[in-house]
Structure 1
Amino acid sequence: MTPTLILIVLLFQLQAILAFTPASPTNSTLDAVGLNATETTQLTLQWFSHGSYAQFVATAARSKDSTGISKGALVHFSEDKVNKDTPSTSVPWIAFISCDANSTLASMDTDIFTLAKSKGALAALLYTPYSQTCVLNPELGSASNLDIYVTPTPTSAKLLDYQFQSSQIATQNNPADALVDYDPAKLAKLQADIESSIKQGYAVSGEYLVATISAFNATADAVTEDGKGAGEAGSASNSTAGTESGAAGKNSAPERGRADIVYIITLFVGAVLAAAVL
């Protein structure tokens, strides 16, 4: 077998295990007209200790069985680092996906959302720090098997990406422990803490960011311990037992008051950071 033929075979095999991103960045308001940019879908990030940041995002697609609420660790997800052989996980997580470029070896048979779903992702958040927003390819249509959201501005994308430094700061003695990219081993190690954070309504330890996405037309307000909406978890209840942020309602009034103060301070810091980023 000639070297050229060997190279072709290797390229073909690599293409079979990667996935393409059926979305692209845009600065055109006409391209973005299909996004529900005026809805009140909210993304809230929380990190240790009692840090939080909130912003609105736009809905690009909803899966058939969606309840409109997802909770889990937010992690970068890329076809360059994950393939069909990468283990999946039952730990609740949300894929943070760049729409700026595809892998040069990406397969056109499997898209990044299908890959993320196969690894256990509850939802996907597309972002671009260089363009106005992301738009899905027309051929994806309404066939998504995952809830997909997009950041509405490059500033919001940069601020979200910046928050990963919070989890790294929380593990400054060993930054390698921070959960930044999809890593099933790290997720498994942090499973108890992540699930406890979801249940308690705040991050109980460092190393990760806890994300809550509440769509404007969510059909379930309660979120179970595993991060899925009540409908996803197999419950018929649409109970509003949680607080507005989706917490289990176990925080005392003083704790909620402290959380409100922290939230206000965080919004102020976010505004300062936005000015710095720009």
Structure 2
Amino acid sequence: MKFGALLLLLILHNVSAQPPHIPASPTNTTLSIMSYDLMPKLLVQFCPERIYADTINRELGAQDISQGALVHFSADIDSDIAPTTAPWIALIPCDRNATGHSQELDIFTLARNKGARAALLYSITSETCHINPVYAHSASNGEFDIFSMRSLSSTRILESQFQPPLGDLAYGSYEAQRLSDSAGTINSGIQSQKPVAAGFGLATLFTNATVATSSELGGPVTTTSAPANSPSSVTANTNTATRSPASVMLPVLYICLQALLTSRR
């Protein structure tokens, strides 16, 4: 009996130690049939006064907006680590599965268990990522939003925001305790719609369905044109009389984002 119990514990340990599988693949085929103006949007704000803006694809989910610190997350993360209390967005590469990966645990479930609000897929070898159709049909829609970058060039620009000289972010990769220690700072950034401290990129992923009318704006918006050599990496300033929660400030971000993206076309 003791031997059987020990054997079972060893089996369970080996299963839990397996890295999660990534139910998505890199591809050069774009499947989106949405018009440019209806595509979901990504806005990442860095301190001080630096913004990355782009359109993205929605792979799965039903939420209209997700916000949090944008953090690299991979299959190497220990599934036994406690979840963080800070809101964050998982930035996940889809290029390959780890050797000996688990068939039971997927990386999106693991990210959600760690407290992620949504996931953003990217590839460093192909244009974009697409969710495995089997996973998409079996997953519970609405529980977890999954998006993907739309091009390799956009991914490279976004990744450059995390690297010197543009940025050397303390929260560039997932560290549960460090994120939890800064939960108040990240939440304050979400409330003010602007990072209140350096060290992380504040990401907002949203659809046009979340955007209210311009009458809710708290003040004028000033933007700069996107540089020709870096169309998605720009600096923008939002000037408002008072700071508001995300539901009120989102139109400001949307107009700012639309102006920046329009300059790319």
Q: TM-score range by the shorter chain?
A: 0.7 to 0.9
Distance 1:14 1:36, change over 3 A: farther
Q: Is 1:206 the counterpart of 2:202 in the alignment?
A: no
C-alpha displacement of 1:121: 0.6
Contact 1:51/1:266 (8 A) holds in 2: no
Paired position in structure 2 for 1:78: 74
Q: Is 1:118 the counterpart of 2:113 in the alignment?
A: yes
Q: Is 1:16 the counterpart of 2:16 in the alignment?
A: yes
C-alpha displacement of 1:195: 1.0
Paired position in structure 2 for 1:191: 183
Question: Where does structure 2 lack aligned partners over 5 or more consecutive residues?
Answer: 1-8, 235-265
Aligned Cα root-mean-square deviation (Å): 3.0
Distance 1:129 1:37, change over 3 A: farther
Contact 1:59/1:149 (8 A) holds in 2: yes
Q: How does 1:41-120 map to 2 (within 5 A)?
A: 41-63=40-62, 66=63, 68-80=64-76, 82-120=77-115
Instruction: Give the percent of matched residue pairs that are identical in Structure 1 and Structure 2.
Output: 33
Distance 1:37 1:102 in 2: 32
Q: Is 1:129 the counterpart of 2:86 in the alignment?
A: no
C-alpha displacement of 1:211: 0.2
C-alpha displacement of 1:43: 0.2
Distance 2:90 2:40 in 1: 17
Distance 1:240 1:90 in 2: 33
Paired position in structure 2 for 1:182: 174
Distance 1:118 1:242 in 2: 35
Distance 1:207 1:138, change over 3 A: same
Paired position in structure 2 for 1:232: none
Distance 2:89 2:22 in 1: 16
Q: How does 1:117-266 map to 2 (within 5 A)?
A: 117-142=112-137, 143-144=139-140, 145-165=143-163, 178-218=170-210, 249=218, 253=219, 256-257=220-221, 260-261=222-223, 264-265=224-225
C-alpha displacement of 1:216: 3.4
- AA aligned to 2:207 is A
Q: How does 1:25-40 map to 2 (within 5 A)?
A: 25-27=26-28, 29=29, 32-33=30-31, 38=36, 39-40=38-39
How many equivalent pairs are there? 221
Cα shift readout 1:171-229 (whole Å, capped 9, x = no counterpart): xxxx5x711111111112222221111111111111100000012344xx58xxxxxxx
Cα shift readout 1:76-117 (whole Å, capped 9, x = no counterpart): 00111x132011022110000000011113201011000011
Cα shift readout 1:234-262 (whole Å, capped 9, x = no counterpart): xxxxx99975xxxxx5xxx4xx54xx23x
Distance 1:129 1:86, change over 3 A: same
Contact 2:52/2:233 (8 A) holds in 1: no
Cα shift readout 1:39-78 (whole Å, capped 9, x = no counterpart): 3211001011111110000101115xx2x10110000001
Distance 2:214 2:232 in 1: 34
Distance 1:56 1:108, change over 3 A: same
The 3-state SS of whatever aligns with 2:52 is strand
Distance 2:120 2:185 in 1: 22
Distance 2:98 2:11 in 1: 13
Of 12-21 and 82-91, the range deviating more from structure 2: 12-21
Of 15-24 and 126-135, the range deviating more from structure 2: 15-24
Contact 2:70/2:90 (8 A) holds in 1: yes
Distance 1:51 1:269, change over 3 A: farther
Distance 1:37 1:195, change over 3 A: same
Distance 2:11 2:33 in 1: 36
Question: Where does structure 1 lack aligned partners over 5 or more consecutive residues?
Answer: 1-8, 223-238, 244-248
Distance 1:147 1:37, change over 3 A: farther
The 3-state SS of whatever aligns with 1:49 is coil
